[in-house]
Chains A and B, each alone.
Chain A
């Protein structure tokens, strides 16, 4: 409809307005220069350093470093822990957001605060909490030892700490989205005879699917990259409880720069992929926000 009316050039009045909104050349150069410098120093240079460090002695050494049993074990553990914590946070995040956005109840504000807690607590403290709870000297430690359950310095502890640290991502993404969408579609479904469960799966969930994916993406990126909390509960047992971020530090401290940067390059790649997917998802997310307008 409006295709034919696309103006070729701005009418004179609009051009004048565009000019009026533009800063003098010197200011433009300064501001753009600042932004470019900032991006270069904080983003492009570090990326360059990571990849050049990883490939410093050729692609063969790079691949060999990644094929080391220790690196392989760290990659497997990182993926496993991310899968567990993303899975848990997906289920509980959706449920929490659904309850908060669609219902009124006492203690709602408290629940929102609790969901935000992991963001406001240092990850190291988060890890420490689990050591104090489940560690040998911890509250539940003796009982767990008695029943031969190992949580701290083992995979369950790492998964727990990661889940705790990444808990807000899915819920935080969904709460505003679901609040904005309101409850009218659910009410419509109910009055048309749909059961509560059916309403959730046929109306609520499809409406938030892009938001869920977005939350999962961010949650996964953080889960794979988590260092502080995991470092406290891991125990750094080589080939067993080292995740990728922990391995990067260990290798670096042992002057194995190529191996260290090789593992780091995988995390950097993850970040780049996340960034691309995030951008792609944002368009869809906007789509699920706009509706009545």
Chain B
């Protein structure tokens, strides 16, 4: 089942949560909506689920409009950020809920429901918790119940809102690998919201990066990481060093110094140079390199991490760079820095 959102606009009072958003998710894909809080990602998810309504735009499932149908008629499995398990029902009854509330003519027999629920509890590996209540479960177990409950109605689409947000780091890692392999088994079109780039990069087939109600970039994890489309994406995904530079006449200037870099397509004027930390190569100071004094050095496992102060246009800019462990680096050294890969974006107005 494909999901399409077209020109979605959603306004909360004076705040524009979604500003003309277009998105297409292919059948069987696992897509991450990634962005900082307030970027509109959860609102978009809720609109697709039918829990919120857009002010303008269309939502299509397999080319058919979904907006005419309420949440219960869209056949969407939704996993809530805080799971929203029914607190007065056992795990078994939670999972069975969606099957029990079906219209009488569609409802399965009690025996069928029992079988289906038990199969699902097996699938999410918590069959031994069937008689417990949500209050007696750990966060990871609740997450699995929420997932089983959402899958019980055989949804055509699975939507997950910050599925691992409330879990501790170790459980989170384990559970997201498990979710990935579960998706590979059942292949239901899935869309999940996260603010954690590592999660998105590891789990998703494609990533949708959002900021301030707009989509900044859509692409595979490699694509988004290696070829960020905008300054925001470069700054948000992966660790980046950002330097204010001046582009003019095909040259790139940092303060008074002309750097040995191509300006690419960047327009003349104040710009921003983005470099991944591991792409910043430490070497001797020389023509066309950035130049600065080492302020502090610390060992960081197999590498050294150094704070380097770059005398720029207006005062010093402090950046953090990596160096091999065996390099003798000490505070006071003057070093040169040359970006191996970089991107230049126009400075924001």
Q: Footprint of B on A, CB under 8 Å?
A: 184-185, 187-195, 198, 202-203, 206-207, 287-288, 290-292
By the criterion CB–CB under 8 Å, are A194 and B101 in contact? Answer: yes
6 pairs from A and B in contact (CB 8 Å cutoff):
A187-B51, A191-B51, A191-B76, A192-B98, A194-B72, A202-B97
User: For window 90-104 of chain B, which residues contact chain A by CB distance below 8 Å?
Assistant: 97-98, 101-102
Shortest Cβ gap from B75 to chain A (Å) = 8
CB contact under 8 A between A190 and B87, given known A198-B101, A290-B135, A292-B82: no
Residues in chain A near residue B153, CB distance under 8 A: 192-193
CA distance A193 to B153 in the complex (A): 9
CA distance A188 to B83 in the complex (A): 9
CA distance A202 to B94 in the complex (A): 11
By the criterion CB–CB under 8 Å, are B71 and A191 in contact? Answer: yes
Of the candidates A184, A192, A287, A291, the one whose C-beta lies within 8 Å of that of B97 is: A192
Residues in chain A near residue B152, CB distance under 8 A: 192
By the criterion CB–CB under 8 Å, are A288 and B87 in contact? Answer: yes
By the criterion CB–CB under 8 Å, are B87 and A291 in contact? Answer: yes
Residues in chain B near residue A287, CB distance under 8 A: 135
Question: Smallest CB-CB separation from B77: which chain A residue?
Answer: A191
CA distance A188 to B95 in the complex (A): 11
Of the candidates B74, B78, B102, the one whose C-beta lies within 8 Å of that of A188 is: B78
Whether a CB of chain A sits under 8 angstroms from the CB of B84 is yes
CA distance A207 to B73 in the complex (A): 25
Q: Which 9 A-B pairs have the closest CB atoms?
A: A184-B84, A192-B98, A194-B101, A193-B72, A188-B84, A206-B88, A191-B71, A191-B78, A190-B71
Max chain A C-beta neighbours (<10 A), residue from B72, B74, B80, B153: B72
CA distance A190 to B50 in the complex (A): 10
CA distance A117 to B172 in the complex (A): 49
Residues in chain B near residue A288, CB distance under 8 A: 87-88
By the criterion CB–CB under 8 Å, are B84 and A185 in contact? Answer: yes
Main secondary structure of the interface of A (DSSP, over half): helix
Whether a CB of chain A sits under 8 angstroms from the CB of B236 is no
Q: Footprint of A on B, CB under 8 Å?
A: 49-51, 70-74, 76-78, 80, 82-88, 97-98, 101-102, 134-135, 149-150, 152-153, 166
By the criterion CB–CB under 8 Å, are A193 and B101 in contact? Answer: yes
Shortest Cβ gap from A119 to chain B (Å) = 30
By the criterion CB–CB under 8 Å, are B86 and A189 in contact? Answer: yes
Residues in chain B near residue A291, CB distance under 8 A: 87, 134-135
Of the candidates A184, A202, A207, the one whose C-beta lies within 8 Å of that of B101 is: A202
Of the candidates A184, A192, A203, A206, the one whose C-beta lies within 8 Å of that of B72 is: A192
By the criterion CB–CB under 8 Å, are B72 and A188 in contact? Answer: no
Shortest Cβ gap from B13 to chain A (Å) = 11
CB contact under 8 A between A207 and B88, given known A187-B51, A189-B101: yes
Residues in chain B near residue A193, CB distance under 8 A: 72-73, 98, 101-102, 153
CA distance A193 to B49 in the complex (A): 12
Shortest Cβ gap from A209 to chain B (Å) = 8
By the criterion CB–CB under 8 Å, are A194 and B97 in contact? Answer: yes
CA distance A189 to B149 in the complex (A): 10
Question: Smallest CB-CB separation from A194: which chain B residue?
Answer: B101
Residues in chain B near residue A207, CB distance under 8 A: 86-88
By the criterion CB–CB under 8 Å, are A192 and B149 in contact? Answer: yes
CA distance A207 to B88 in the complex (A): 7
By the criterion CB–CB under 8 Å, are B72 and A190 in contact? Answer: yes
Question: Smallest CB-CB separation from B94: which chain A residue?
Answer: A188
Shortest Cβ gap from A7 to chain B (Å) = 25
Residues in chain A near residue B78, CB distance under 8 A: 187-188, 191
Shortest Cβ gap from A212 to chain B (Å) = 13
By the criterion CB–CB under 8 Å, are B71 and A184 in contact? Answer: no
By the criterion CB–CB under 8 Å, are B88 and A184 in contact? Answer: no
Shortest Cβ gap from A29 to chain B (Å) = 42
Shortest Cβ gap from B293 to chain A (Å) = 49
CA distance A195 to B72 in the complex (A): 8
Max chain B C-beta neighbours (<10 A), residue from A191, A194, A198: A191
If A188-B85, A188-B149, A190-B70 are given as contacts, then 18 extra A-B residue pairs at C-beta distance below 8 Å, sorted by A number, are A187-B78, A187-B84, A188-B78, A188-B84, A188-B86, A189-B86, A190-B72, A191-B50, A191-B71, A191-B77, A192-B97, A192-B152, A193-B73, A202-B97, A203-B86, A206-B88, A288-B88, A291-B134
Residues in chain B near residue A190, CB distance under 8 A: 51, 70-72
Shortest Cβ gap from A101 to chain B (Å) = 16
Question: Smallest CB-CB separation from A192: which chain B residue?
Answer: B98
CA distance A58 to B3 in the complex (A): 82
CA distance A184 to B87 in the complex (A): 11
Residues in chain A near residue B134, CB distance under 8 A: 291
Question: Smallest CB-CB separation from A190: which chain B residue?
Answer: B71
Residues in chain A near residue B101, CB distance under 8 A: 189, 192-195, 198, 202
Residues in chain B near residue A195, CB distance under 8 A: 72, 101
